[in-house]
């Protein structure tokens, strides 16, 4: 049967013999935000790339990739209308299929504050050295502070500032364009859409080969340089070797480290696995017994059902939850992981809760 997935992906059994004759310029391990964006960039530069993802190509499965994610009942009812393969795990509104093409970036909140200099003061890098990379990455994901440009956010910031916290609207990877003329706005930036819009469908034939259900078990080294990857087809159990000149390790923070270590990748400066840091921002929740406040510019962020947190799968609001709650993109500048902050706004019954960040 021809499926969309079969049109967009290549079997490892086809890629391995081809790589034996002409090694790939690069093999990218992991099809999350990092892997896809790197693969796309390499393909745009004319390189041949094999993008290997352990999970499936889960197109159309991710209603939580839109603002609809904030309505848990709606997400469940949309998901219930499809038959998924592999089946979705019953694990709340997100987290059901994180290992897939698009990776965690299909489920993230899109909050993208830069690290501050103090966050990385022990790193062998400075903020200046990272600045161009940040700018480039932010362009790839349409990062903007306009998402937090709302009267409610203004009030929250004023309230937090009055309490001595230097708050301002945080940068978010959100497409703030209105939905019109066939363009669906309001999407949280992910790497899958640009992949489908550009490299996978329109790149010159043969430059990008996406293989799914393809688990890389080892990086193969020869004479101190990478030369290939060992990769297993998870459906058939067959092992293959894919020859290449360069390997991009983008399998996520922990798996990338594990893979480098089991592959005996040389680590003369003992850098592998270091500087995996904590979150650098906090999130504020608004709790209100009355009508939900207006959200400008679009008002498109729906409120969660009463008594629930406005963020899929989590219920981090402490204390009685009496009414609609809205997530507000606020960044408390210069504060690293403060503990819970509770602030009372002018009117009785209105509170702001700082909740522990996750991700
Ligand atoms: C619910 C949620 C909310 C978040 N919110 C935010 C936020 O607001 N701001 C923020 O900055 N970050 C947030 N994050 C974190 C952010 O999404 C991740 O840091 C980012 O997406 C990681 O991208 P990645 O490409 O490095 O890794 P991943 O997205 O994890 O991609 C790695 C991919 O590699 C595949 N893989 C792993 N091992 C192998 C192997 N051996 N062979 C082949 N493939 C392999 C995996 O299946 C996976 O698809 C959030 C995460 C979650 C889950």
Query: How many whole angstroms from 104 Cα to the centroid of ligand 1?
Result: 4
Ligand 1: residue of 86, 104, 138, 239 to mutate (most ligand atoms within 8 A of CB) is 104
CB of 312 closer than 6 A to ligand 1?
no
For ligand 1, atom 38, the nearest C-alpha belongs to 251
Query: How many whole angstroms from 76 Cα to the centroid of ligand 1?
Result: 22
CB of 112 closer than 6 A to ligand 1?
yes
Query: What is the pTM (predicted TM-score) of this model?
Result: 0.79
If DSSP states are collapsed to H, E and C, what string results for the chain?
A: CCCHHHHHCCCHHHHHHHHHHCCEEEEEECCCHHHHHHHHHHHHCCCCEEEECCCCCCCCCCHHHCHHHHCHHHHHHHHHCCCCCCCCCCCCCCCCCCCCCCHHHHCCCCECCCCCHHHHCCCCCCHHHHHHHHHHHHHHCCEECHHHCCHHHHHHHHHHHHCCCCEEECCEEECCCCCECCECCCCECCCHHHHHHHHHHHCCCCCEEEECCEEEEEEEEECCEEEEEEEEECCCCCEEEEEEEEEEECCCHHHHHHHHHHCCCCCCCCCCCCCCCCCCCCEEEEECCCCCCCCCCCCCCCCCCCCCCCCCCCCCCCCCCCCCEEEECEEECCCCCCCCCEEECCCCCCEEEEECCCC
CB of 52 closer than 6 A to ligand 1?
yes
CB of 359 closer than 6 A to ligand 1?
yes
What is the chain's pLDDT, residue by residue, as a tens digit (359 residues)?
A: 777 778 899 999 999 999 999 999 999 999 999 999 999 999 999 999 999 999 888 765 556 666 666 677 777 777 777 666 556 655 554 445 578 888 888 878 888 888 888 878 888 889 999 999 999 999 999 899 888 788 888 888 888 888 887 788 888 898 888 777 777 676 788 888 888 887 787 777 789 999 999 999 999 999 989 999 999 999 899 999 999 999 999 999 889 999 999 999 999 988 888 887 666 655 555 544 444 444 333 333 333 333 332 332 233 333 333 333 344 455 554 444 443 444 444 444 444 444 333 32
Query: How many whole angstroms from 125 Cα to the centroid of ligand 1?
Result: 23
Which CATH class name applies to 4-60+191-262?
A: alpha beta
Map out the domains of the chain as residue ranges. 4-60+191-262, 63-96+109-189+278-355
């Amino acid at each position: 049967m021809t499926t969309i997935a079969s049109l967009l992906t290549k079997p490892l059994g086809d890629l391995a013999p081809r790589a034996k004759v002409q090694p790939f310029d690069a093999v990218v391990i992991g099809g999350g935000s990092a892997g896809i964006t790197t693969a796309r960039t390499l393909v745009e530069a004319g390189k041949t790339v094999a993008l290997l993802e352990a999970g499936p190509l889960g197109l159309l499965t991710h209603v939580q990739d839109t603002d609809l994610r904030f309505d848990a009942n709606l997400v469940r009812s949309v998901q219930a209308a499809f038959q998924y393969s592999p089946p979705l795990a019953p694990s709340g509104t997100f987290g059901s299929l994180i290992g897939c093409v698009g990776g965690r970036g299909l489920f993230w909140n899109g909050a993208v504050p830069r690290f501050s200099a103090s966050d990385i003061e022990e790193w062998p890098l400075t903020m200046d050295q990272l600045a161009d990379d940040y700018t480039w990455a932010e362009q790839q994901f349409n990062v903007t502070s306009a998402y937090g440009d709302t009267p409610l956010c203004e009030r929250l910031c004023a309230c937090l500032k009055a309490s001595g916290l230097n708050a301002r609207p945080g940068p978010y990877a959100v497409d703030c364009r209105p939905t019109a003329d066939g363009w669906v706005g309001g999407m949280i930036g992910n790497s899958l859409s640009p992949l489908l819009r550009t490299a996978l469908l329109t790149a010159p034939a043969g430059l990008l080969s996406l293989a799914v259900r393809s688990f890389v078990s080892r990086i193969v080294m020869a004479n101190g340089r990478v030369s290939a990857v060992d990769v297993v087809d998870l459906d058939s159990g067959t092992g293959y070797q894919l020859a290449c000149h360069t390997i991009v390790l983008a399998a996520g923070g922990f798996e990338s480290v594990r893979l480098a270590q089991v592959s005996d990748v040389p680590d003369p400066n003992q850098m592998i696995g270091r500087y995996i840091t904590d979150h650098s921002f906090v999130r504020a929740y608004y709790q209100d017994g009355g009508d939900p406040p207006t959200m400008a510019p679009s008002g498109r962020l729906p409120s969660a059902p009463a008594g629930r947190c406005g963020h899929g799968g989590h219920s981090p609001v402490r204390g009685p939850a009496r009414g609609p709650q809205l997530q507000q993109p606020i960044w408390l500048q210069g504060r690293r992981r403060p503990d819970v902050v509770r602030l009372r706004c002018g009117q009785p019954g209105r509170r702001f809760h700082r909740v522990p960040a996750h991700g």
